[in-house]
Amino acid sequence: MNGIIRTRVSTRKALILVALLAAAIVIPRFLSPFPLSVLMLTVIFAILAMSLDLLMGYTGMESLGQAAFFGIAAYTIGIFSTKYGLGWEVAVPVALLASIVLASISAALSVRMTGLFFLVMTLVISQMLWGLSHRWGSLTGGYLGMHGIPRPIEALQSNLSFYYAILGVLLVSALLMYRLVRSPFGLTLRGIKESELRMRTSGYNVWLHKFIVFVIAGAFAGVAGVLYAYSSQFISPTVLGVETSFEAMLMVIIGGAGTLSGPVLGAAIVTGLRNYLSVHFENWVIVLGVVYILVVFVAPNGILGLLPRRLRAASGIGQEASDVDELKIAVLSRQSTDQPGNASAQSEPSERIERERMETLRLEGVGKTFGQVRAVHDFGLTAFTGTRRVILGPNGAGKTSLFNLITGVYKPSEGDIYLFGEKVTDLAPHHRTSMGLGRTFQVTNLFPSLTVMNNARLGALGVQSSKYAMHVPVARLDDVNERCRDLLQLAGLWDVRDALVGNLSYGHQRQLELIVTLASDPQVLLLDEPAAGLSLAESRSMVELIGELDRRLTVLIIEHDMDVAFEVADEVTVMHQGEILAEGSVEEIRGNEMVREVYFGQSYA
């Protein structure tokens, strides 16, 4: 049933696209030169806006610096062709190279910064270039710019023919981005936007992914810059100015971020506005200023976001994240004939477990201090294959901090941590995950705007090298998809695999939380209050699920719910004010007076 609806949607979409394409090809023949030149600008800025959307809409990186890569490519073309008389065969590759190099440098400098600072850094870099282009009159012609840039080849001399050329480039760019967005790498970008922390603990080198997409976006911006220089045959410092960067952002926002068609629409609207407002209003700049303000208050999700939600959902707008690949799943998926509750959540035994009993996790004198607060102090623990240990303790005892230390989200102030005998104290979270460490979160940390299936995929991809693949749709990674199917079926979530996580019940989310972690094939599993907030029945299901796990896994579990805790675990560590209060077997701890007093407060049967 679902499959049929989706087919209809994608056919509808395809029809619209074809109609638009036809219009884009036919109409310009009848346009007079001025509207044609505005249309050409629209196409060029559409590419620029799309490049920004890759960053903003898909990866959540808000950048005000795209003008830098746009402008440097344009200026390279200008300088090479007018000052040195070089042809496009030399100028274009160098221009693109310039964009890529600049983007790499910018990325290296700014990607590790968070939100606001990243924004300012991107702004300042492009502003510096603008300032330079203004002042360096001998190279760039200063504020009057460079003129007389010849078209690359004779055949493209006329505006109409050049228009078709750039339309072609737009289509190719859109196609490439489409593939990118559908690929595993594209999925990781969306994951990063939703929850960077989850991505890092799922095995992704988030910095690297951001770096790569930043450079890719810079390259596309460079393409737009090259086209701009050849199209207008004239450039001036405005291409590097704040206004260009801001307008690109305005285009993305007006059109709707996170979609590929949004920026194109936005480009059309903003370019049209710019060029036609001035015809009718002397102080048109004020109108533009008002638009900036209005967009923020009235249409933060873009013009399409103003449509009624029901209609939006039915047409598939704003949900490009979950469409056609789901169709493929419906078509390709085999009916699962595996026994439910297959004994092993991992289909293959991990290579890491060579002997029956091997040390998996060891903490020695681990501590963490925040300023004056000692969150964890002198914590020691050794776990082996098959260890099932629960960490108990009142709130503020340092349990979650302990998990953060083990996973690498916090760096310890003292002590060392060993995974499978190797010292990992200074290792980043994603490395630890790839070694076989997995962790769930106390507060559900999933990717709410993505489907259940995509959430599982992200869990699985984290430890696969195919996470960098950009050329295949993620729906075609059979091994990953199979694994996800198995896990989802295990948790009874297969039927809702196309639902957006944000729409799931809390209970389902908690289960998915576990599944996503399991998907990375961890040998050491840290469960942070897996039953938190669950009803009795749901807790039961959770316990069953945990019970399905391979007996060879090391499991550390933080729990308040004693039923769950003592069913799952064999050993107990009780923490109090950051230190170990007591440890031992379940029976020992149950009988421990001191623990009872401190923790339970009253007798517990």
Partner 1 sequence: MEEWATRILSGVTYGGLLFILASGFTLGIGIMNIVNIAHGALYLLTAYTAWTVFSMTESFVLAIVICCLTGGLLALVLYAGLLKRLHQRPLAQILVTMGVTLIVAEFGVIWWGGFPRTVERPGSLAGSIHLGVVSFPAYRLFMLAAAIVVGVLLWLLLERTRVGALVRASVDDEEMARGMGVDVGRLYFFVFGITGILAGLAGAIGAPFLGAFQGAQFEVLLLALLVSVVGGLGSVTGAFIAALLIGIIDSVGKSLFPELAHFTLFAPLILVLAFRPTGLFGRTQIIK
Partner 2 sequence: MATMRRFLALFLAIGLVTACAGDDSGGGSTTVGSTTVGSTTAGSTTVGSTTGGEDLPTLKIGIPLPFTGVVAESAEEMRQTFLMYIEEQGDTLGGLPVEVIFEDTETDAELVVTKTRKLIDDDQVHLLSGPMLAFEGLAMLDSVNEAGISLVGQTGVAADDYTRLEAPTLTAAAKATASQETMPFGSYAYEELGYRRIATLGQDYSWGYQTVGGFQYAFEAAGGDVVQKLWAPIGTTDFAPFVNDIDREVDAVYVTLIGADIPRFVEAYSDFGLKEDIPILSSEDLVAQDAIRFYSGDSAVGIVGVTPFTTSIDRPEMQTFVEAYEERTGNVPTFWGESAYVAAMVIDRTLKYVTETNNIALQDLPDWVRSNGEAFATATREIDLSDTPSSPVTVDEYNRQIRDFYIVELVDDGGTITDSLVETVPAVTQFWTFDQEEFLANPLFSRDFPSE
Interaction site with partner 1 (CB under 8 A): 62, 64, 109-110, 112-117, 119-121, 123-125, 127-128, 130-132, 135-137, 207, 241-242, 246, 249-250, 253, 283, 285-286, 288-293, 295-297, 300
Minimal distance in Å, beta carbon 296 to partner 1?
Answer: 5
Amino acid (one-letter) located at 113: M
Name 183's Cβ contacts closer than 8 Å, sequence gap at least 6: 469, 470, 471, 472, 473, 474
Q: Please, which residue, 205 or 232, has the CB nearer to partner 2?
A: 232
Question: Which among 534, 533, 556 has a CA at the least distance from the CA of 391?
Answer: 556
Q: What gap in Å lies between CA 583 and CA 393, rounded to an integer?
A: 11
Q: Please, which residue, 115 or 492, has the CB nearer to partner 1?
A: 115
Minimal distance in Å, beta carbon 241 to partner 1?
Answer: 7
Residue with the two structure tokens 């060993």: 418
Q: Please, which residue, 232 or 554, has the CB nearer to partner 2?
A: 232
Q: Please, which residue, 64 or 542, has the CB nearer to partner 1?
A: 64
Minimal distance in Å, beta carbon 296 to partner 2?
Answer: 20
Judged by CB under 8 A, the chain residues 92 through 151 that form the site for partner 2 are 134-138, 141-145, 147-148
Residue with the two structure tokens 């690949």: 325
- Contact 169/112 with Cβ under 8 angstroms? no
Out of partner 2, partner 1, none, what residue 16 binds, judged by CB under 5 to 8 A for its kind, is: partner 2
Q: Please, which residue, 57 or 316, has the CB nearer to partner 1?
A: 57
- Contact 262/299 with Cβ under 8 angstroms? no
Minimal distance in Å, beta carbon 232 to partner 2?
Answer: 5
Q: Considering only 304-312, 337-345, 414-422, 579-587, which stretch makes contact with partner 2 by CB under 8 A?
A: 304-312
Instruction: Give the tokens for residue 495.
Output: 């039927």
Please give the span between the terminal C-alpha atoms of the chain, in angstroms, as a whole number: 51
Q: What gap in Å lies between CA 493 and CA 241, rounded to an integer?
A: 50
Handedness of CA 441, 447, 451, 454 (dihedral sign): negative
Out of partner 2, partner 1, none, what residue 88 binds, judged by CB under 5 to 8 A for its kind, is: none
Q: Calculate the alpha carbon distances from 131 to 143, 174, 402, 423 in Å.
A: 10, 32, 49, 49
Instruction: Give the tokens for residue 263.
Output: 């920026």
Instruction: Give the number of other Cβ atoms within 10 Å of residue 531's Cβ.
Output: 25
Beta bridge partners of 5: none
Q: Please, which residue, 124 or 562, has the CB nearer to partner 1?
A: 124
Q: What angle do CA 200, 471, 262 make, to 5 degrees?
A: 80
Q: Calculate the alpha carbon distances from 444 to 40, 86, 191, 409, 558 in Å.
A: 47, 58, 15, 17, 14
Q: Please, which residue, 124 or 330, has the CB nearer to partner 1?
A: 124
Q: What gap in Å lies between CA 120 and CA 422, rounded to an integer?
A: 40
Minimal distance in Å, beta carbon 190 to partner 2?
Answer: 22
Alpha carbons within 13 angstroms on the beta-carbon side of residue 79 total 17
Out of partner 1, partner 2, none, what residue 272 binds, judged by CB under 5 to 8 A for its kind, is: partner 2
Binding mask 11-50 for partner 2 (x = CB under 8 A): -xx--x--xx--xx--x---xxxxx-xxx--x--------
Residue with the two structure tokens 């898909």: 58
Q: Please, which residue, 172 or 208, has the CB nearer to partner 1?
A: 208
- Contact 250/292 with Cβ under 8 angstroms? yes
Minimal distance in Å, beta carbon 186 to partner 2?
Answer: 23
* Per CB under 8 A, 291 contacts partner 2: no
Q: What gap in Å lies between CA 335 and CA 482, rounded to an integer?
A: 11
Handedness of CA 70, 74, 75, 76 (dihedral sign): positive
Q: Please, which residue, 128 or 144, has the CB nearer to partner 1?
A: 128
Q: Please, which residue, 154 or 282, has the CB nearer to partner 2?
A: 282
Out of partner 2, partner 1, none, what residue 235 binds, judged by CB under 5 to 8 A for its kind, is: partner 2
Question: Which among 161, 220, 172 has a CA at the least distance from the CA of 36?
Answer: 161
* Per CB under 8 A, 233 contacts partner 2: yes
Q: Please, which residue, 61 or 170, has the CB nearer to partner 1?
A: 61
Q: What angle do CA 190, 195, 199 make, to 5 degrees?
A: 80
Residue with the two structure tokens 């998915």: 512
Out of partner 1, partner 2, none, what residue 121 binds, judged by CB under 5 to 8 A for its kind, is: partner 1
Question: Where would I find the H helices in 261-373?
Answer: 261-280, 284-298, 309-315, 324-332
Out of partner 2, partner 1, none, what residue 119 binds, judged by CB under 5 to 8 A for its kind, is: partner 1
Classify 96 as helix, strand or coil.
Answer: helix
Return the C-alpha torsion angle 536, 542, 545, 547, nearest 10. -80
Minimal distance in Å, beta carbon 300 to partner 1?
Answer: 7
Q: What gap in Å lies between CA 323 and CA 265, rounded to an integer?
A: 20
Q: Please, which residue, 243 or 579, has the CB nearer to partner 1?
A: 243
Q: Please, which residue, 243 or 538, has the CB nearer to partner 1?
A: 243
* Per CB under 8 A, 235 contacts partner 2: yes
Instruction: Give the number of other Cβ atoms within 10 Å of residue 253's Cβ.
Output: 27
Beta bridge partners of 576: 579
Out of partner 1, partner 2, none, what residue 127 binds, judged by CB under 5 to 8 A for its kind, is: partner 1
Judged by CB under 8 A, the chain residues 252 through 281 that form the site for partner 2 are 265, 268-269, 272-273, 275-276, 278-281
* Per CB under 8 A, 174 contacts partner 2: no
* Per CB under 8 A, 164 contacts partner 2: no
Q: Considering only 184-192, 305-313, 359-367, 479-487, which stretch makes contact with partner 2 by CB under 8 A?
A: 305-313
Minimal distance in Å, beta carbon 297 to partner 2?
Answer: 20
Looking at residue 451, the DSSP 8-state letter turns out to be: B
Out of partner 1, partner 2, none, what residue 280 binds, judged by CB under 5 to 8 A for its kind, is: partner 2
Number of chain positions touching partner 2 (CB under 8 A): 58
Judged by CB under 8 A, the chain residues 560 through 599 that form the site for partner 2 are none
Separation of CA 310 from chain center: 26
* Per CB under 8 A, 186 contacts partner 2: no
Residue ranges in contact with partner 2 by CB under 8 A: 12-13, 16, 19-20, 23-24, 27, 31-35, 37-39, 42, 134-138, 141-145, 147-148, 232-236, 238, 265, 268-269, 272-273, 275-276, 278-285, 303-304, 307, 311-312, 314-315, 317
